[in-house]
Amino acid sequence: AAKNSGRNRSCYYTQAMQSVAQNRMSLSNDLHKALAQDQFRLVYQPIVELETGSIHKAEALIRWQHPNRGLVSPADFIPIAEQSGLIIQIGDWVFRQAANQVKHWRGAYGKDIQISINKSPVQFKSDSNTHLAWFEHLKELDLSGGCFAIEITESLLMDASDTIVSKLMAFGNIGMQVALDDFGTGYSSLSYLKKFDIDYIKIDQSFVRNLAPDSSDLALCEAMIMMAHKLGIKVIAEGVETSEQRDLLRTAGCDYGQGYLFSRPLSTEDFEGLVWNASLYRSE
Ligand code: C2E
Ligand code: MG
Ligand code: MG
Ligand code: MG
């Protein structure tokens, strides 16, 4: 009986693995069509200044409306796009879409909002020079680099080659800001905080989730905030879901918060309603 169940189990695993592989393959095929058929869109999550409650920044997050599967999470398709290299084109689409949106909002509301864009390490490591075309695009739209921040992860800096360093510098030179995403989860070698021109760290939501008075997570957040500030770096806390978390972070000196407490990622219409049309938050 034991032998039987063992064989069944291995059979089960093999099928499960096969279907995972098939699923990836079919998603990968569909991703190619998704770009051509306009199935991606961006949603925008406000980044709130904790001291004042005002919103001058937002993170752009990609969404894929799959024709049969419905909404597919970026956590599921970004890794596949990275493997196939399609992330280069997708990243290009994201940037242009966000830039056009900023331009539109400037025209419609007379105000600029700084949009953060996630950049995959694969985009940095590739030898494509799409960022130069982006800079041209910004010029055409008459937008300054300061309207954007790019979010990168610690892992990119760990093995930063000359190509990566020079691309990062190119972004900095046109005034784009740089944020370190998911801060604290990688092999946080602190030396790169002084080696690279980093403007923000984003404290990963795993440190925020269980924030409580006297918790070790609070001690870690306080230490990250103090260290960042000493280096002239601003701090954004991710995944703020409760007013208690917000209050602890604000007391600890954290500059910005992002999370469901303030807002979920929003369609452009809902974002406009929240940030400019409603007075939930002061925009000045
Ligand atoms: P991320 O850059 O760390 O983005 C934050 C994620 O946390 C987003 O998930 C956001 O919806 C979610 N989030 C925000 N507030 C809360 C909260 O209060 N509680 C919880 N539990 N979650 C919250 P999302 O949109 O599913 O994106 C997942 C990841 O996919 C992103 O993590 C980013 O790494 C990647 N991603 C998203 N859009 C893009 C893109 O345009 N390009 C690239 N390369 N990666 C992207
Ligand atoms: Mg991010
Ligand atoms: Mg800078
Ligand atoms: Mg993050």
Residue given tokens 């760990």 in the structure block: 158
**Partners of 64 in the β-ladder:** 40, 72
Determine the average pLDDT of the residues in 51-72: 95
Round the average pLDDT of the chain to a whole number and report it.
Answer: 90
State whether ipTM is beyond 0.85: yes
172-207 pLDDT per residue, tens: 999 999 999 999 998 766 788 888 899 999 999 999
Span from the CA of 265 to the centroid of ligand 4 (angstroms): 13
Residue 22: the pLDDT is: 81
Q: Ligand 1 pocket test: which of 118, 148, 181, 256 has the largest number of ligand atoms within 8 Å of its C-beta? A: 118
Strands 200-203 and 177-183: parallel
Instruction: Record the pTM.
Output: 0.92
Could you tell which of 61, 185, 205 is best to mutate to test the pocket of ligand 1, judged by most ligand atoms within 8 Å of the CB? 61
Residue whose CA is at the smallest distance from ligand 1 atom 5: 238
Asked if the model's pLDDT at residue 279 lies above 70, the reply is no
* CA separation for the pair 246, 261 (Å, rounded): 8
| CA separation for the pair 195, 154 (Å, rounded) | 13
Structure tokens belonging to residue 180:
């370190």
pLDDT value for 163: 84
Instruction: For ligand 1, atom 8, name the residue with the nearest CA.
Output: 61
